[in-house]
Amino acid sequence: MEPTKHTVLVRRRALLLAAALLVACSDRSEPQREGVDVGKNSVFTKLVSAEEIEKKAELQYLQIQKQAAGQQALLPRDHPEVLRLQGIARKIIPHALAWNPRAKDWKWSVILIRSPQINAFCMPGGKIAFFTGILDQLQLSDDEVAMIMGHEVAHALREHARERLAKGVATEGGARVLGAVLSAWLGIDPQLTDTAARGGAGLARLSFSRSDETEADLVGMELAARAGYDPRAGVTLWQKMSAASKGAPPQWLSTHPAGKTRIAEIEQNLPKVMPLYERARKGKS
């Protein structure tokens, strides 16, 4: 006998209710992720090839190294400060892989350039660079260096450059934006990277959005904590940055949210990452 319309409707409602219950039970059964919550990567990143960006970034990174070496500004690999940076990177990188599946295949690299700039960056593909000015002028502890490195690595993991490039391509409608933004987005000293500066003429002040910067602060803080570095160092770091910003702000700070804002955000999120730090410290003891 054919089921009545009422019977079909009741069955459909029962199936929908069962499906809803299954989804609800499934959501409750999933363990809540430890650490910070910044959501998914921007959908804009899909508009630009990650491989292309990483390839161009690697070429520019090699160019920066070559130019710095030519000016005797690239510190050797066995320099104590280079070894220090590499040691911190080795502890952070394993925890970076969970944030971006591409990161496991990146050819990570760390260099140190002699320059008074208070600056550091991590290009797409895991290409990290620090300037001696940020280490010397701020007298950074390892915990504070880890906070900076985590922040810059977070920009690469969250593909903020790819997002900015995608938005540029979408609005400008041209691939020429890709090379120009890659050249200018870092804000590198033109005297160190003349070619890059020429390629990015007019875009030297290009920066990430404030939401990107806040996101990088939080993800970087978690990376540092998981690596065994005290995330409370973010507070002392930004106190030092704020002190250094009297007069003309340092390049690394000039496009970022105000120090007081960052400190408040860090303090608000410390309870989420302190357990990760304590666990990492216990694992080392």
Give the C-alpha separation, 6 to 50, whole Å: 53
Domain tally for the chain?
1
Indicate whether 26 belongs to any domain.
Answer: no
| pLDDT score for 12 | 56
**Residue 242 confidence (pLDDT):** 82
Active site residue 51: no
User: Which among 89, 99, 87, 96 is positioned nearest to 40, based on CA atoms?
Assistant: 99
Q: What was the pLDDT predicted at 190? A: 46
Residue 132 in contact with residue 104, Cβ under 8 Å? no
- Per the domain annotation, does 15 fall within a domain? no
Report if residue 120 sits inside a domain. Answer: yes
What does each C-alpha distance from 22 to 13, 16, 30 come to in angstroms? Answer: 14, 10, 12
Give dist(CA 63, CA 69) in Å, integer: 10
User: Count of CB atoms within 10 A of residue 5's CB?
Assistant: 8
Q: Catalytic: which of 152, 163, 213, 215? A: 152
Distance between CA atoms of 232 and 253, rounded to whole angstroms?
19
Enumerate the H helices of the chain as residue ranges: 5-29, 50-70, 80-96, 132-138, 142-157, 160-172, 176-184, 194-199, 210-226, 233-244, 251-254, 259-284
Q: Which of 157, 162, 153, 127 is nearest to 50 (CA)?
A: 162
Tell me, yes or no, whether 260 lies in a domain: yes
Contacts of 260 (CB under 8 A, 6+ apart): 242
| 60 occurs within a structural domain | yes
Specify whether the CB–CB gap between 85 and 145 falls below 8 A: yes
Give pLDDT, residue 47: 66
What pLDDT score does 88 carry?
98
Question: Is 122 part of any domain?
Answer: yes
Burial class (CB in 10 A: 0-12, 13-18, 19+), 138: buried
- pTM for this entry: 0.75
Range of the domain at 251: 42-284
CA 180 – CA 69 distance, rounded (Å):
23
Strand duo 127-131 + 109-113: pairing? parallel
pLDDT score at 92 = 97
Per-residue pLDDT 10s for the chain (285 aa) are 555 666 655 555 555 454 444 444 444 444 567 877 767 766 556 666 778 888 888 888 998 999 999 999 999 999 999 999 999 999 999 999 999 989 999 999 999 999 998 889 998 999 999 999 999 999 999 999 999 999 999 999 988 777 776 666 555 554 455 555 555 544 444 455 433 333 332 222 335 667 778 888 999 999 999 999 999 999 999 889 888 877 555 545 545 556 677 888 899 999 999 999 999 988 765
Q: Residue 120 forms beta bridges with which residues?
A: 130
pLDDT of res. 57:
85
The verdict on residue 66 lying in a domain is yes
